[in-house]
């Protein structure tokens, strides 16, 4: 039994990760600024500390002596409608950087055995993601750096921070760059949701014969990884000797209109797509609709080479599970803006 701390365990990936670690018999402590909305605390941890990890005093209490592993997933984050509008830049950078600075230092002070840090594909330079059919997200393509969002710049800074603590203080770290993770028990409404959840929700709440809005011309590309495979990949990386940074994502690239069409087909409803183009546009819910990079896909060669394992679940399988859960949420909440 290991003593494990999951920071950001009140969120989507952290909640799933903590649940798995607890089920495997470990002692799991979560710290998050909010409760988990969809899991009970008993399901995912032995101890839940509610508090703000930008506070170094709290971080010193949360990370105590004798900790085997810290998983650092706490961040101010959201989908394109949150991180690409420009309106949340200062908070995103300040909150997330403060958390990471506190966690790196306190992990050294308390001699934590191993720390996982969740970076993002958003740290890759925009100039390699202009062609939707052939984006380059190979790990070595990170420099010269030019992420298209402040969220991406903060991730780049913080992965360097953890690697610097590794070099100078021998902190044993693992750094992964997540590519758009999705699944049940994740954010599905109110502006921070990412495209898979947004498509499922829009389809779930629409009447047959109607249209759903999809931001942009719908030809921008992404790949999406189901959360259980993300958790598996994180745990295998932690068990390995490879520090990273390494991509954790899917290589099944689709256009956003294909993603929307998949959600529509799963629902069985006769629904069509209305593409809304341009940064200045707002959708019918009042959200700004930025599109971010033109194309992005995970490149899993390094992960396969170093860890010897690969993700394999087809996007459609994950979308069926996600649609089923979001459809249920829409029904239970009578959700309609
Ligand atoms: P999430 O928003 O569901 O979880 C993040 C959690 O951090 C939230 O529960 C939030 O309350 C908590 N948090 C934020 N500020 C805090 C603070 N000051 N003190 C304490 N807790 C705080 O996001 P997620 O999708 O689970 O992402 C987890 C991590 O993975 C994040 O670091 C995110 O940037 C990274 N990531 C996620 C994706 C993705 O597609 N989901 C992609 C790339 C990177
Ligand atoms: N969120 C959202 N909602 N996106 C939509 C919608 C909608 O209703 N309609 C179309 N899109 C388009 C966006 O404009 C964007 O071009 C694409 O779908 C993907 O959007 P998101 O899933 O919101 O984000 P992302 O892929 O650009 O970035 C996400 O992944 C990163 C890692 O790969 C974010 O979650 C980042 O925080 C994350 O780090």
* ipTM rounded to 2 decimals: 0.99
| C-beta of residue 173 within 8 angstroms of C-beta of residue 166 | yes
Tokens of 89: 């830049």
17-33 pLDDT, tens per residue?
999 999 999 999 999 99
H or E element: which one contains 321? helix 315-333
Is pLDDT at 335 greater than 80 in this prediction? Answer: no
From 194, 206, 223, 296, mutation site for ligand 2 pocket: most ligand atoms within 8 A of C-beta: 194
Ligand whose nearest atom lies closest to the CA of 253: 2
pLDDT mean over 305-323 = 97
Spacing, Cα 137 to ligand 1 middle (Å)? 21
Task: Return d(Cα 159, Cα 71) in angstroms, integer.
Answer: 13
Domains of the chain and CATH, by start: 3-181+226-248 (3.40.50.720), 186-223+253-332 (3.90.25.10)
pTM of the model: 0.97
Find, among 240, 232, 246, the residue nearest to 176 by Cα.
246
Is 151 labeled as catalytic in the residue annotation?
A: yes
Find, among 187, 316, 326, the residue nearest to 261 by Cα.
316
Task: Return d(Cα 206, Cα 189) in angstroms, integer.
Answer: 14
Spacing, Cα 201 to ligand 2 middle (Å)? 14
Report the mean per-residue pLDDT for the chain: 96
Which pLDDT does position 337 carry in this prediction?
47
């Amino acid at each position: 039994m290991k003593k494990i701390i999951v920071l950001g365990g009140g969120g989507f990936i952290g909640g799933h990760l903590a649940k798995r670690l607890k089920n495997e018999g470990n002692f799991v402590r979560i710290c998050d600024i909010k409760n988990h909305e969809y899991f009970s605390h008993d399901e995912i941890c032995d101890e839940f500390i509610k508090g703000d990890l930008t506070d170094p005093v709290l971080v010193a209490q949360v990370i105590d002596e004798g900790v085997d592993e810290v998983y650092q997933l706490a961040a101010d984050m959201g989908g394109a409608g949150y991180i690409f509008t420009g309106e949340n830049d200062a908070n995103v950078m300040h909150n997330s950087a403060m958390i990471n600075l506190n966690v790196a230092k306190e992990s050294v002070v308390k001699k934590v055995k191993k720390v996982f840090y969740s970076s993002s594909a958003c740290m890759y330079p925009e100039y390699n993601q202009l062609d939707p059919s052939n984006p380059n997200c190979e790990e070595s393509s990170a420099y010269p750096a030019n992420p298209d969002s402040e969220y991406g710049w903060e991730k780049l800074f913080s992965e360097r921070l953890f690697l610097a603590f590794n070099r100078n203080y021998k902190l044993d770290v693992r750094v992964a760059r997540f590519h758009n993770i999705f699944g049940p028990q994740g954010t599905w409404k109110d502006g921070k949701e990412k495209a898979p959840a947004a498509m499922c929700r829009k389809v779930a709440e629409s009447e047959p014969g109607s249209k759903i809005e999809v931001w942009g011309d719908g030809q921008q590309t992404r790949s999406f990884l189901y959360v259980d495979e993300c958790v598996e990949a994180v745990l295998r990386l932690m068990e390995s000797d490879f520090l990273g940074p390494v991509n954790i994502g899917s290589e099944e690239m689709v256009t956003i209109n294909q993603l929307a069409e998949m959600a529509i087909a799963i629902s069985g409803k006769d629904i069509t797509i209305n593409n809304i183009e341009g940064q200045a546009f707002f959708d019918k819910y009042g959200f700004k609709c930025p599109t971010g990079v033109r194309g992005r896909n995970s490149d899993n060669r390094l992960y396969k080479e170093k860890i010897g394992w690969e993700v394999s679940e087809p996007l459609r399988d994950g979308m069926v599970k996600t649609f089923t859960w979001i459809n249920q949420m829409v029904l239970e909440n009578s959700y309609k803006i």
